[in-house]
Amino acid sequence: MRIGVLTGGGDCPGLNAAIRGVVKKALQLGWSVVGIHDGWAGLVQGRVEPMTEYSIAGILARGGTILGTSRTNPFKKDGDVQRCQDNMQRFGIDALVAIGGEDTLGVAEKFSKIGLKVVGVPKTIDNDLSGTDYTFGFDTAVFIATDAIDRCKTTAEAHRRVMVVEVMGRHAGWIATFAGIAGGADVILIPEQPFDIDEVCEAVQRRHKRGKLFSLVVVAEGAHPKEGQLVLQAEKTDSFGHARLGGIGNLVGAEIEKRTGIETRVTILGHVQRGGIPTATDRIRATRLAVAAVELLEQGKYGYMTGIHGNDIGAVPLHEAVSKIKTVTPQFFKVAEVFFG
């Protein structure tokens, strides 16, 4: 068998570990592998390269993706689906391993419906894919965010300030919740629970009355006030209809300073959370999920995504994996609320 592997959507630490896992397992089976450049765009345009042991040498600890990525949706442009199918035939690709999040695997699911042999590997720093307890990339993003929160906390204490740290999380606040708990945040704001800015300010003032002269507020980029709209960085959307978010941290920071009179500074982490070397946990998760994806192909089990369930790796139908966003469950947020009320 000859298989193709691609990485799509936003990059994250662990993608190269996943690519390595796919290639290693495929070569062990005596198969050949081609890498598809820049996600679905590469399959549309026919940009591929043979993958060998040499191709994956030394990439386990590298951030980003050696294959490149894009937010291309072949189902949005006339002729692109047929081009993908033609290029599969042209390069002799029997089956595909698509490594990505909701959008990339949504495309994989559509291709599966029309007969392509495809399996998915779940990656996203947002950890918002259904059908898996964790996605790779999430652990590294939480580690980076927690480190930033720790650093902001010491300077907030030194200057008696409020520090607002904005982290990624469009529709799900997993990073904000985990990093906020790990970093000892005094307030955590997530998309799942629209916030009342008055309550945020009251929480800050209560701390000051108790002699805690600094506060740390962690806010997910998709968090929004009650009866409010998302704060958009730009109105332009990508091919999956997503607007670019960012700016809620600045809004929250300005309101806190105006209402409390306490000097407030804002730090927006942005793509820092996507970059750099993956943690050991993400390297292991990516490797296990990728190897299992090739095993699905070996079993002739197409149209599935590999997923983590407890300590085990299982298979989830792609349509189930992308049918809904996995949001923060109350059990996690209740732990956070113990500390900020």
Instruction: State how far the Cα of 263 lies from the Cα of 219, in Å rounded to an integer.
Output: 18
Instruction: State how far the Cα of 138 lies from the Cα of 135, in Å rounded to an integer.
Output: 6
pLDDT band at 241 (very low <50, low <70, confident <90, very high): low
Distances (CA, A) of 338 to 81, 116, 149, 184, 204: 50, 49, 19, 11, 15
Instruction: State how far the Cα of 318 lies from the Cα of 305, in Å rounded to an integer.
Output: 6
Instruction: State how far the Cα of 43 lies from the Cα of 81, in Å rounded to an integer.
Output: 9
Distances (CA, A) of 167 to 141, 219, 270: 9, 6, 6
Buried b (16+ CB within 10 A) or exposed e, 8-43: bbbbbbbbbbbbbbbbbbbbeeebbbbbbbbbbbbb
pLDDT band at 239 (very low <50, low <70, confident <90, very high): low
User: Domains of the chain: which residue ranges?
Assistant: 2-136+278-321, 138-275
Biggest CA–CA distance in the chain, Å, is 70
Instruction: State how far the Cα of 306 lies from the Cα of 290, in Å rounded to an integer.
Output: 8
Average pLDDT (253-268) is 95
Residue 78 has pLDDT above 60, yes or no: yes
Residue 245 has pLDDT above 80, yes or no: no
Give pLDDT tens digits for 108-164.
Answer: 999 999 999 999 999 999 999 999 999 999 999 999 999 999 999 999 999 999 999
What percentage of the chain carries pLDDT values higher than 90?
89
* Contact predicate 330/306, CB 8 Å: no
Instruction: State how far the Cα of 106 lies from the Cα of 320, in Å rounded to an integer.
Output: 10
| Amino acid of residue 3 | I
Query: What number of CA atoms fall less than 13 Å from residue 71's CA on the CB side?
Result: 11
Residue 272 has pLDDT above 60, yes or no: yes
Q: Which helix (H) or strand (E) holds 86?
A: helix 80-90
Specify the fold of 138-275. Rossmann fold (3.40.50)
Residues taking part in catalysis = 126
Token pair for 116: 């392509």
Q: 3-state DSSP call for residue 100?
A: strand
DSSP letters of 248-317? HHHHHHHHHHHHH---EEEEE-GGGGT-SPPPHHHHHHHHHHHHHHHHHHHTT--SEEEEEETTEEEEEE
Token pair for 1: 């068998």
CATH class of 2-136+278-321: alpha beta
Average pLDDT (50-59) is 96
Number of neighbouring beta carbons within 10 Å of residue 79: 10
Domain 2-136+278-321 matches domain 138-275 at the CATH topology level: yes
Average pLDDT (302-328) is 95
* Contact predicate 174/138, CB 8 Å: yes
Q: Determine the straight-line distance between the first and last CA of the chain, rounded to whole angstroms.
A: 57
What percentage of the chain carries pLDDT values higher than 70?
94
